[in-house]
Amino acid sequence: MASKIVTFTLNGRRIEVLVKPLTTVQTLLRDQLGLTSTKAGCKQGGCGSCTVLVNGDPMMSCLLPVEDVQGQEVTTLEGITPTPGLHIIQEVFYENFAIQCGYCTPGMIMVSKALLDRNPHPGREEIIDALTGNYCRCTGYEPIIQAIEEAARRMNGNGN
Amino acid sequence: MTEEKLNVVGQSVLRRDGLGHVTGKTIFIDDINFPDMLHLKMVRSPLPHALIKGIDFTKAEKVPGFIQALTHEDVPKNIYTILCLIGVGPDEEPVLAEDKVLYKGEQIAAIVAETEDAAMEAVSKVKIDFEELPTVYDVEEALKPGTPVLKHWGTNHFVYEGHHCRRVRFGDVDKGFDESDHIIEGRYQTSPVEHAPSETTGCVARPEPDGRITVYTNTQALFFTMDNTALILGVPFQKLHFVGGTVGGGFGGKVDVIVEPIAALAAMKTGRPVKYKFTREEEMRVSSSRGAWRIYFKDGVTKDGRILARKITTYADAGAYNRHTPYAVTKHAANIAGPYNIPNVWIDAYCVYTNRQPSSAMRGFGVTPASFALEVQMDKIAETVGMDPWAIRFINAYRNGDMKPHQKVVEDATLIEVMQAAAELVGYELPEKFKKMSSLNREEA
């Protein structure tokens, strides 16, 4: 099958890409565009390390054909990292040691971003629920949950 | 002593790699790509035990993008064992299988191609003629006469300085059993566990203009891997430059030397960078796991809870090859009697080969299954004798100056203090005599 041109918004910028049918957003980002913050832990929708936002919703980019994001807005970790500095969520992950090997971190941060954009005051259960699809094999879930709680406080102006 | 101001101890220090992790700028192996990079994929055995009668690459070679196939004949020193660096032998694992395979998924031939897809397609077109052999999957079956023998030295167990297993002999267990009021036996079985790191095992090997090979790898054992790779490739150590330190989860699963030698060889043969990275399926099904252990306890205990004799026979399922299991068994043997002062101990710890995926290091290195079996057994003793499980452990706890079964004097006992702290944390009120105990000395009887 012939390659197709797909147009969409990536990190706020409109781009046009040429992809073979069924190329995933993960493969496009990592191999074609060199945006490697999106990880490839399993390539089968099992680990969440490749989570990106599509119109603000978290999606596993390894299961997402590029054709499906035609005309949509895609955001990766590169897209939420300010220059210079860090996004509040990145700041709290860093300061609260919500990172160990770092491989699941980009996916965790993208899921947190989607959650906090939708729900600025999530309860602990809602945070746990949002992280269900994301796997941290270093089993650092507790500091991650606490970091998201802290991010919510800071984003709402109640942080220290 | 002057008081020094400490800058790190007692402070919360932010991680050096933290900024890379939260911005996604940390470079993991799969993030490393070179414009002329090739991909290596492995032809693996579909059978757990078989003779290889022939390999046919004809159809694989026709796949667009195919570059080269490598077999054992291309590997300068094909048979190795990782722990040769600390004197463990003999060599017994092939980098690429020669005339037979011992487990399902064993590496037989490497295919190097322009793209990952082309490499996978070529792998699927390699034809191998096998003659299936009978298999053995159970550690005790493996040691019985008439079972298929897997190793060239004629047994299904590792040989420890001429002995069938790692042995510990301390005191006289039969005498201890005679003097005991209770004989308490237990059989414990653990399952294999996959480390399942978020990032799968992998490396990129790149030939440099000066003739060296740079290997970017996510190994947990950089120098160990470099030295083994040099021995396998038959090159001086300084010909290799290993770059590592960033590991997307390891837990012991990335200490074996599997991907680097063959990727480096492929880079040397093709003159181009080569990436060899496990798929998630390979990580689950082929990479080393924590081994399964079978552990038999026989304890002689007095009616007031003193353990007088402990006899243990324990079997590690190494799977098809050594990897780190011979060492894990030694650590296991040193720890399986527990942090207890027992006058008579007898241990036989076997490193057994079966047709399973090789097992190796994982958090605790043979000690974790020992602790599991041991502490369940301690609870069983408490129940049989009719004592509090805390009491059984305080009564038998070793102290500094005691002799351990493997003939080392205890110098750093902390069991009593740890139990005292644990009791306080869980709100358990210990009797005064246990609160007063210390690892530093033994109170008057």
A8 touches chain B (CB under 8 A): no
Task: Choose the mutation target among A103, A109, A141 for the interface with B, i.e. most B CBs under 10 Å.
Answer: A103
B200 touches chain A (CB under 8 A): yes
- What fold does the segment set A88-155 form as a domain? DNA polymerase; domain 1 (1.10.150)
Tell me, what's the pLDDT at B299? Answer: 98
**Residue type present at position B195:** H
A95 touches chain B (CB under 8 A): yes
Tell me, what's the pLDDT at B1? Answer: 54
B418 touches chain A (CB under 8 A): no
Question: B15: which chain A residues are within 8 Å (Cβ-Cβ)?
Answer: 94, 97, 99
**DSSP E strand stretches across chain A:** 4-10, 13-19, 51-54, 57-60, 73-75
What 3-state class would DSSP assign to B48?
coil
Peptide bond into B90 cis (omega under 30): yes
Domain boundaries, chain A: 4-79, 88-155
Partner-chain contact B23 A86, CB within 8 Å: yes
- Which of A41, A80, A90 has the alpha carbon at shortest distance from B29? A41
Angle between helices B415-425 and B389-396 (to 10 degrees): 160
Supply A54's token pair.
């599509």
pLDDT exceeds cutoff 70 at A159: no
Q: What is the pLDDT of residues A5-52, one digit of tens each?
A: 999 999 999 999 999 999 999 999 999 999 999 999 999 999 999 999
CB-nearest partner of A93 from B22, B249, B279: B22
- Average pLDDT on A74-98 reads 97
**Residue type present at position B192:** P
For the domain made up of A4-79, the CATH class stated in words is alpha beta
Partner-chain contact B18 A99, CB within 8 Å: yes
**Residue type present at position B10:** G
Whether B194 contacts B287, CB under 8 Å: yes
- Which of B49, B104, B121, B39 has the alpha carbon at shortest distance from B286? B104
Whether A76 contacts A11, CB under 8 Å: yes
Local mean pLDDT, 10-residue blocks, chain B (445 residues): 78 94 98 97 98 98 98 98 95 98 98 97 98 98 97 97 97 98 98 96 98 98 97 97 97 96 98 98 96 98 98 98 97 97 98 97 94 98 98 97 96 97 97 97 79
What are the φ/ψ torsions at residue B45 (nearest 5 degrees)?
-75, 130
Question: A37: which chain B residues are within 8 Å (Cβ-Cβ)?
Answer: 23-25
What are the φ/ψ torsions at residue A32 (nearest 5 degrees)?
-95, -40
Partner-chain contact B280 A99, CB within 8 Å: no
- Which of B248, B205, B287, B210 has the alpha carbon at shortest distance from B38? B205
Tell me, what's the pLDDT at A160? Answer: 47
Q: Domains of chain B, with CATH numbers? A: 29-133+195-285 (3.90.1170.50), 166-191+288-389 (3.30.365.10)
Tell me, what's the pLDDT at B365? Answer: 87
Task: Choose the mutation target among A36, A47, A61, A78 for the interface with B, i.e. most B CBs under 10 Å.
Answer: A36
